[in-house]
Amino acid sequence: MSTAPAGIPAERARRVRLVVLDVDGVLTDGGLYVGEDAEGRRVEFKRFDIQDGLGIKMLQWAALEVAVVSGRLSGATAQRARELGIAEVHQDARARKLPIVEELLQRRGLTWEALAVVGDDLADLPLLRRAGLAVAVKNAVPEVASVCHWTTPVPGGSGAVRAFARALLLARGDWDELVERYERDRSGQEELL
């Protein structure tokens, strides 16, 4: 039987219905690989941690919606979100995330208490200050870390979202059952969502 890391109260975790993830510095290490192809077109690559992907899927299997809200426009972000079945992908080059998330909550009839946000930098502050569960990755800037309820044990791009997903699902009492279901699915005994 797994135990929840200290710091995520069960009552706060159980209120979460929507998880909003930043991308650069959270799902990635914040680095960009930028260049040009043979025709001179800009090419951008990002490195995503594979364990974060499974963490996101486990959140979805627990009936939590996951959205990506980024302050950069990136084809790599959109592609990774499609691979993970994330329908709500919002990229705003001006990093105005608050109106996007307010609209997401309104469409779902949710309050800020039902929202978990994982962030790392200043553009995430308006969301983190309002969220029912504010989470900083280990490499977050001090201003972000100071307003968060919980901090991941690893930096963004190194499994931070997976660590968050595990901690949240443990606090909700869902983790062990999801791991068992995942194992049965991989053994051909059960079909996950």
pLDDT of residue 8: 86
| pLDDT number for residue 1 | 44
Q: What is the pLDDT of residue 193?
A: 58
The predicted pLDDT at position 44 comes to 87
Both tokens of 190, joined, read 């059960």
Closest CA to 85 of 53, 115, 114, 110: 53
- The domain covering 10-186 belongs, at the CATH homologous superfamily level, to HAD superfamily/HAD-like (3.40.50.1000)
Residues 6 or more apart whose Cβ sits within 8 Å of residue 107: none
Rounded distance between C-alpha atoms, residue 48 and residue 158, angstroms = 8
| Token couple for 189 | 């005994």
pLDDT of the chain, 193 residues: tens digit per residue: 444 446 688 999 999 999 999 999 999 999 988 899 999 998 889 999 999 999 999 999 999 999 999 999 999 999 999 999 999 999 999 999 999 999 999 999 999 999 999 999 999 999 999 999 999 999 999 999 999 999 999 999 999 999 999 999 999 999 999 999 999 988 887 666 5
pLDDT reported for residue 23: 97
> Would you state the pLDDT for residue 137?
98
Residue 192's pLDDT is what?
65
What phi, psi does 2 have (nearest 5°)?
-85, 160
Residue 181's Cβ-side half-sphere holds a number of Cα atoms within 13 Å equal to: 12
| Helix or strand (DSSP H, E) at 177 | helix 175-186
